[in-house]
Chains A and B, each alone.
Chain A
Amino acid sequence: ETGVTQTPRHLVMGMTNKKSLKCEQHLGHNAMYWYKQSAKKPLELMFVYNFKEQTENNSVPSRFSPECPNSSHLFLHLHTLQPEDSALYLCASSQRDLTDTQYFGPGTRLTVL
């Protein structure tokens, strides 16, 4: 595998379910990010991790819980989501921080029923 991979690619869940999104980067980068992309809206940065430490949380509701066990892996744990949380969730990585070029994964298309 090369670049940034995400699983699953598609996810349908009920509002009471608990699920997790997974991201893995094979680029040797030290920073990883979660973005939300909704229809007709710009990309929204959700979380920033540098060297496994969370350095930014852009007022994201607590029903989204990130986890970064090492510099190559990033998870987004989901629980009690709302229908308006349906979107494309993108993972990205960069060499050091947000000033570096970001490389995106293919995304997870999430639908909350």
Chain B
Amino acid sequence: EDQVTQSPEALRLQEGESSSLNCSYTVSGLRGLFWYRQDPGKGPEFLFTLYSAGEEKEKERLKATLTKKESFLHITAPKPEDSATYLCAVQALNAGKSTFGDGTTLTVKP
């Protein structure tokens, strides 16, 4: 059974304090790993898809990386508007649906 574990559950940072969110996964052949951002009261917003170990993608202050066991979402010099819950999901080659993690709730204080 595919599994996704995100850590930490919650992260509080000062504005400008860089950090990383972790997504550990087990899957029988990875089709893709997805990162989403979810603001309170809203649906998840797609950020990145990573397909193979060693792949990296960047968007503004966010950078996602992938290994064979985990993915990191690095946040460089975060701002208060980066506060949200970040969701990770994996999709196996032999499965249609994605398996989601519980998410990491990030709070950035000014």
Contacts and interface: CB of A to CB of B under 8 A. Distances in A.
B25 interface: no
Contact of A90 (B4, B32, B44, B91): B44
B43 interface: yes
Interface residues of B, number: 23
A2 interface: no
B4 A107 contact: no
Contact of B4 (A42, A56, A101): A42
Contacts of B99: 42
Nearest to B102: A42
A104 B87 CA distance: 13
A42 B97 contact: no
Given A43-B87, A98-B91, A103 B31 contact: no
Contacts of B46: 101-104
